Copies of this chain bind each other. A is one copy, B any other.
Amino acid sequence: MSEYKVLDASDLEAISQYVPRERILWADEINEEYSHDELSADASYPEMVVKITSAEEASKVMRYANDKHIAVTPRGAGTGLVGSSVAVEKGIMIDTTLMNHFLELDEKNLTLTVEPGVLLMEIGQYVEEKGLFYPPDPGEKTATIGGNISTNAGGMRAVKYGVTRDYVRGLEVVLADGTIMEVGGKVVKNSSGYDLKDLIVGSEGTLCLVTKAILRLLPLPQKNVSLLIPFPTLAQAIGTVPLIVSSNVIPTAVEFMEREVIMDSEEYLGKKFPDNQADAYLLLKFDGASVEEISKYYDSVAQICLEQGALDLLIADTDERAEAIWKARGAFLEAIKGSTTMMDEVDVVVPRSCVNEFVEFVHDLRKEMGIRIKSFGHAGDGNLHVYILRDDMDDKKWAEMLGKAMERMYIKARELKGQVSGEHGIGLAKKPYLKESLPKESMKLMQGIKKAFDPNNILNPHKVCFD
């Protein structure tokens, strides 16, 4: 039985004093969407959803929950893949989507201050109109920035620009006891005590609730050029990546893709992919001040690819051509999802030099197990997305096959000195694998940190590394 308080009418009445009743969903008012995220099989309804509009409201709700020992689950757009925003202990769900305001664009300090419910695609549009650039580029553009911060989302441009953590300068957060606290700020460097900011980024809502973020921007690169490079084999394609990354150019993105996933995408989008001559492709992007400058970079990369056996080089130097390719890439997750009844994913990250070994392992595994497994991913980062498809398996067989396939892949990732998650987080779905992957001392330290932030364990219980 749960140790958490079950909500009743008195709680509804109390919370209604902090947040107007019309922004509270209670019992039957709670839509099915609130019971799950985008992919994870975990499902559970919260007893109450509170749509906050300020840190002050969040503070009052959290203080109440802390006093009464009610579980609190933060939720943005619900686009997570590992169950981080599922209310396993029911209780109160704090929905941040109404906190969706742009608060300040500071062009002198190149920072953008936003509320957590602003969507990733809104940030891109807002800053690019002003000639500025927010580099993190996860595939899911309808995610909230709060959600991106919560999982330390990565995305396509991480090869050159890094991940969400690298673009968060400061945060306003609400602690479990209701305290509103700031960490970091507009400063570029900081050696003033322990790095709480980076600890909070990626903590999946288990340490505090983010109510404001100061994001770092860059000047917008003037030009982009994408290169689609067909290879005779996937091994040749992926084997070329370390050579590219250690050459004297730094690509913005390095993705790998296979014919079978491209075909799913063609079907999903109802649109032909610009090339069909090969089973395996690298997709590269370069950015810079001008097409001439970029062309110098990709000339040397083209040379490397041809030396490694590339069949062709398709240069997409107009927005239209590039869009056709990247749109196909962007649809992979949905396209694979649409090709089966149900699926689950593995988001391992391995050293860049080990991607080939991991992908070959996955190919062998699906042959051995006789099930469909598809993959694509950020070859430049060593971050693979592997999808295990249910197709027509019954419940028992699915549970068995899924468990076996995942276990085998995580063991392989550990063998290659990889980590359980490159960018999707741990949530509920990856918890057992994290436990097997990290040294037990690391888990113990994380538990100590959790205790320092949330001594009553009300914030997003059972996630990441907690039983």
Q: Is the CB of A246 within 8 A of B110?
A: yes
Query: What residues of B have a CB within 8 angstroms of the CB of A353 in the complex?
Result: 106, 108-109
A residues contacting the other copy or chain, number (CB 8 A): 95
Is A179 part of the binding interface, using a Cβ–Cβ cutoff of 8 Å? Answer: yes
Contacting residue for A195 out of B198, B242, B297, CB 8 A = B198
| Cβ of A348 to closest chain B Cβ, rounded Å | 9
Query: What residues of B have a CB within 8 angstroms of the CB of A419 in the complex?
Result: 185, 187, 190, 192
Chain B residue at minimal CB-CB distance from A177: B441
Query: What residues of B have a CB within 8 angstroms of the CB of A110 in the complex?
Result: 245-246, 352
Stoichiometry, as copies per complex, reads: 2
Is A151 part of the binding interface, using a Cβ–Cβ cutoff of 8 Å? Answer: yes
Contacting residue for A191 out of B222, B247, B424, CB 8 A = B424
| Cβ of A216 to closest chain B Cβ, rounded Å | 10
Q: Is the CB of B246 within 8 A of A441?
A: no
Is A9 part of the binding interface, using a Cβ–Cβ cutoff of 8 Å? Answer: no
Closest 9 CB pairs of A and B: A448-B452, A108-B353, A186-B351, A198-B198, A108-B242, A189-B422, A192-B419, A188-B381, A191-B421
A-B contact list, 30 entries, CB within 8 Å: A107-B242, A108-B242, A109-B242, A109-B351, A152-B190, A152-B195, A154-B189, A159-B188, A162-B166, A165-B195, A185-B351, A186-B417, A187-B382, A187-B417, A187-B419, A188-B380, A189-B382, A189-B383, A191-B423, A191-B426, A193-B442, A194-B207, A194-B465, A196-B446, A222-B248, A249-B289, A289-B296, A445-B453, A448-B448, A449-B452
